[in-house]
């Protein structure tokens, strides 16, 4: 298995070959809290894995003591905010050249403080070679783990936990990577591991796999024959030669034999009939580049045909390729992709993995941490601490005066609870959360990257203002600025670095970077103030709605939902207004809305549906704090409850922009219940349930929701899903197909997006969908 590596050390070819220099403590992050270790050592690359506890700040909200106070007391704030320390778990994976292993082990040894383990789990051929060195340097006993078992465990882990992990390689596309939606059921699949030879493994369950075949003609064959033919001893140099060669100068093609295509057999003229065939019929010298290219095609075609035959024999259509032969090299991925497509007539795709280089290290770590049941949790890639696919890696000189080496990083954060699909998705396997793929759409990518760059000053300002008592807030905010700016520049040149680039991933990367520098909730005070103002208006808004006749009230409720959705600090068009006019309120927002007919207008169909029987249970995904949730969502919830519909109100588990969090929603609901008997009785009788989504994003991925929310949705027989807000209903889920009725509504607060959808600023999306019978 040796080096199973997606290249993280190479240049992208877009002028990004200048690496970022980082001190060692930014490579081996949080080492003082490392608990367990694993290592995967191949022929030239080492992958070190360790588990650490990470302490960071979180903003908590809690209710004031209202004992003996009138519920309507005019208190400025409805709750208080406290910043607390929280400990979470993180996995760190670091990939570097074997030539730096001794210096890196020295650094690790010198910074170990709280490690609990006396064992380091090791895999790969080098685990034997470097066993004594590791035990001597770290004082840990080396426990060797089976290479294939580690590889499979690592592959299962990334396929389950990292969206957009798998990709196909398309030579003539820009960019050439096309990421696949994570399949909800990852088994069964075929793993073709191309090391010195080829191993083909059928994987059917977490621990159930079978070696079903292989070949002695693999990466070692390419390397060995290539060295004999070209006198080039280094593997990467051999691939570089191949990328410049013309195989047709050496190979005999179909057209060399038949003068063109073979029509009867349906073979094109440029198909290889005989690898190295021309070398037997001519005395000319062949260039090293041409011979390397011919050799690469010969071996890749052989592996591709073998993989295709085994996939068909076992009825599998998902085939993942890995091993040191791949290493993220475009020329290798291109030849394997062509080969398997040709032999399967396009029925089987060659799939590659973003983090293929870490599979062995991940598997070895999981083997050593089985007592902690890491598989019972969900994990998420931390973009702030990960290098990304084929992005320029940081450089580290392990010792003064030593030559630099390239280091590739991956960090995974443990999430509080397992994440699963929303059970109401029509087809979880084909569900794609995001509406626009910025990897594919160059114009959209340019616009949104510029948009996030221009917003950076405002985010920094807001972060500093959120911590007025902190002496180092400004310094940390500047570090955040530099970190996020660097990420944006990487994504300009390598939009595929973290999978499919979307508005959601740009927002999530920003949140990860803010958390990295201890800005857990920059909008906490804004939300606290806006929630207080909106709560003081709730009784009046509810009374005004109750005074309307039924049909007028339905339109007023929808307009209230839409007006509330205007209050989004994440939209520049709105934040500019809110900054310049603090008195801008609910009624002003209503006047901003376009008149009907709206840009997308299913209101008449919705009204007719309301004249029918009530829904059994509605699942509502809330958006913003303040006016949105209190004066928009809760009156809508109240109406549904009055109709006899149960309601599940789902809010973010953690903060993002000014979105309402689960903790805030509990306190808001408590205040509203004190004023409103409908909400009060519904909460008491559990006809209104507040739940968390499992997300800390301004967008919504319905394939990664809190497991308890998913269970409740099924138990209550949910037959209506309401998604509100631009991030949740337009940037994501605009095309999501559900097995029940759905209502997606938002106000377009971005002029570019509005124009792209055929509207203008503050155009309205009101999309009511009924699934086909």
**Considering only 216-225, 263-272, 290-299, which range has the smallest mean pLDDT?**
263-272
pLDDT at 104: 87
pLDDT at 4: 32
Is the confidence at residue 579, as pLDDT, over 70?
Answer: no
pLDDT at 80: 86
pLDDT at 7: 30
DSSP 404-425: PEE-EEEEEEEPSS-EE--TTB
pLDDT 10s digits, 180-203: 887 778 999 999 999 889 999 999
The residues near 389 (Cβ < 8 Å, ≥ 6 apart) are 6, 8, 177, 328, 354, 494, 496, 497, 498, 499
CB atoms closer than 10 angstroms to residue 449? 18
pLDDT 10s digits, 611-657: 999 999 999 999 999 999 999 999 999 999 999 999 999 999 999 99
pLDDT at 75: 57
In whole angstroms, what is the distance from residue 207 CA to residue 662 CA? 37
DSSP 420-436: E--TTBS-TTT---BS-
pLDDT 10s digits, 513-523: 999 999 999 99
pLDDT at 554: 97
Mean pLDDT over each residue of the chain, to the nearest integer? 88
Is the confidence at residue 5, as pLDDT, over 70?
Answer: no
pLDDT 10s digits, 342-363: 889 888 889 999 998 899 999 9
pLDDT 10s digits, 416-461: 889 999 999 999 999 999 999 999 899 999 999 999 999 999 999 9
**Which stretches does DSSP call E strand in 134-248?**
141-144, 166-169, 177-179, 189-194, 198-203, 209-215
| Two structure tokens written together for 559 | 């307009």
pLDDT 10s digits, 36-51: 899 999 877 899 999 8
In whole angstroms, what is the distance from residue 651 CA to residue 660 CA? 6
pLDDT 10s digits, 86-95: 888 999 999 8
In whole angstroms, what is the distance from residue 475 CA to residue 518 CA? 11
Sheet with 209-215, strands from edge to edge, namely 177-179, 166-169, 349-353, 318-322, 189-194, 198-203, 209-215
Q: What is the pTM of this model?
A: 0.89
The residues near 388 (Cβ < 8 Å, ≥ 6 apart) are 8, 490, 494, 497, 498
* Residue 190 φ then ψ, to 5°: -110, 130
Mean pLDDT, range 605-616, rounded to an integer: 98
What is residue 633's DSSP assignment?
A: I
Question: For the chain, how are helix, strand and coil distributed in percent, rounded to 5?
Answer: 40, 20, 40
Mean pLDDT, range 525-548, rounded to an integer: 92
Yes or no: say if 426 and 432 are a contact pair by the CB < 8 Å rule.
no
pLDDT at 401: 32
**Considering only 72-81, 251-260, 688-697, which range has the smallest mean pLDDT?**
72-81
Is the confidence at residue 289, as pLDDT, over 90?
Answer: yes
pLDDT at 114: 63
pLDDT class of 56 with cuts at 50, 70, 90: confident
């Amino acid at each position: 298995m040796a080096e199973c590596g997606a290249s993280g050390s190479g240049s992208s070819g877009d002028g990004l070959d200048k690496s970022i220099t980082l001190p060692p403590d930014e490579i081996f992050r949080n080492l003082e809290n490392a608990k367990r270790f694993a290592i995967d050592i191949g022929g030239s690359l080492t992958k070190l894995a360790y588990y650490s506890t990470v302490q960071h700040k979180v903003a908590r909200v809690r209710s004031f003591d209202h004992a003996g106070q009138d519920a309507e007391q005019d208190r400025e704030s409805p709750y208080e905010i406290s910043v607390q320390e929280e400990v979470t778990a993180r996995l760190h994976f670091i990939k570097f050249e074997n030539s730096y292993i001794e210096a890196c082990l020295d650094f690790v040894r010198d910074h170990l403080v709280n490690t609990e383990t006396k064992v380091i789990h090791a895999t790969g051929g080098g685990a034997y070679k470097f066993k004594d060195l590791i035990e001597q340097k770290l004082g840990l006993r080396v426990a060797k783990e089976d290479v294939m078992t580690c590889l499979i465990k690592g592959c299962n882990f990334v396929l389950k936990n990292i969206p957009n992990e798998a990709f196909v390689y398309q030579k003539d596309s820009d960019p050439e990577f096309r990421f696949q939606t994570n399949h909800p059921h990852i088994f069964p699949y075929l793993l073709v591991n191309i090391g010195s030879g080829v191993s083909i493994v059928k994987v059917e369950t977490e621990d159930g796999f079978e070696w079903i075949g292989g070949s002695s003609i693999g990466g070692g064959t390419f390397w060995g024959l290539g060295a004999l033919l070209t006198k080039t001893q280094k593997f990467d140099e051999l691939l570089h030669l191949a990328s410049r060669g013309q195989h047709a100068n050496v190979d005999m093609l179909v057209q060399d034999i038949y003068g063109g295509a073979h029509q009867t057999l349906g073979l094109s003229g440029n198909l290889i009939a005989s690898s190295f065939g021309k070398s037997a019929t001519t005395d000319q010298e062949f260039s090293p580049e041409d011979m390397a290219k011919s050799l690469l095609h010969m071996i890749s075609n052989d592996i591709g045909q073998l993989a295709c035959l085994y996939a068909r024999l076992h009825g599998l259509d998902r085939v993942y390729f890995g091993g040191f032969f791949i290493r993220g090299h475009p020329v290798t991925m291109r030849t394997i992709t062509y080969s398997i497509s040709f032999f399967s007539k396009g029925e089987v795709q060659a799939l590659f993995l973003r983090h293929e280089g870490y599979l062995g290290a991940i598997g070895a770590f999981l083997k050593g941490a089985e007592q902690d049941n890491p598989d019972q949790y969900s994990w998420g890639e931390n973009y702030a601490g990960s290098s990304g696919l084929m992005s320029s890696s940081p450089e580290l000189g392990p010792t003064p005066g030593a030559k630099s080496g390239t280091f590739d990083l991956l960090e995974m954060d443990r999430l509080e609870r397992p994440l699963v699909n929303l059970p109401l998705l029509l087809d979880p396997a084909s569900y794609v959360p995001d509406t626009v793929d910025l990897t594919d759409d160059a114009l959209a990518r340019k616009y949104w990257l510029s948009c996030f760059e221009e917003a950076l000053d405002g985010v920094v300002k807001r972060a500093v203002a959120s911590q007025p008592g902190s002496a180092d807030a400004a310094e940390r905010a500047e570090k955040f600025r530099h970190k996020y700016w660097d990420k944006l520049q990487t994504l300009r040149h390598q939009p595929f670095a973290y999978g499919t680039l979307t508005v959601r991933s740009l927002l999530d990367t920003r949140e990860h970077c803010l958390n990295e520098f201890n800005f857990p909730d920059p909008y906490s005070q804004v939300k606290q103030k806006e929630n207080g103002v909106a709560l003081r208006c709730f009784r009046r808004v509810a009374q005004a709605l109750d005074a309307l006749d039924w049909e007028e009230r339905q339109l007023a409720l929808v307009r209230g939902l839409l007006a509330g959705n205007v209050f989004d600090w994440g939209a520049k068009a709105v934040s500019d207004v809110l900054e310049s006019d603090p008195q801008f309120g609910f009624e002003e927002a209503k006047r901003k809305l376009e008149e009907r007919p709206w840009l997308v207008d299913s209101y008449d169909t919705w009204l007719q549906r309301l004249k029918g029987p009530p829904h059994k249970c509605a699942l509502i995904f809330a958006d913003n704090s303040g006016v949105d949730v209190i004066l928009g969502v809760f009156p809508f919830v109240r109406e549904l409850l009055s109709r006899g519909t149960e309601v599940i109100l789902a809010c973010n588990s953690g903060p993002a922009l000014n979105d309402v969090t689960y903790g805030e929603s509990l306190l808001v609901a408590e205040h509203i219940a004190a004023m409103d008997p409908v909400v009060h009785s519904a909460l008491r009788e559990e006809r209104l349930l507040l739940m968390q989504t499992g997300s800390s994003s301004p967008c919504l991925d319905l394939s990664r929701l809190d497991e308890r929310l998913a269970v409740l949705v099924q138990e209550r027989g949910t037959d209506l899903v309401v998604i509100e807000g631009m991030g949740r209903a337009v940037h994501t889920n605009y095309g999501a197909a559900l097995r029940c009725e759905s209502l997606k509504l938002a106000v377009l607060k971005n002029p570019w997006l509005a124009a792209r959808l055929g509207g203008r600023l503050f155009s309205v999306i009101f999309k009511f969908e009924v699934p086909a019978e």
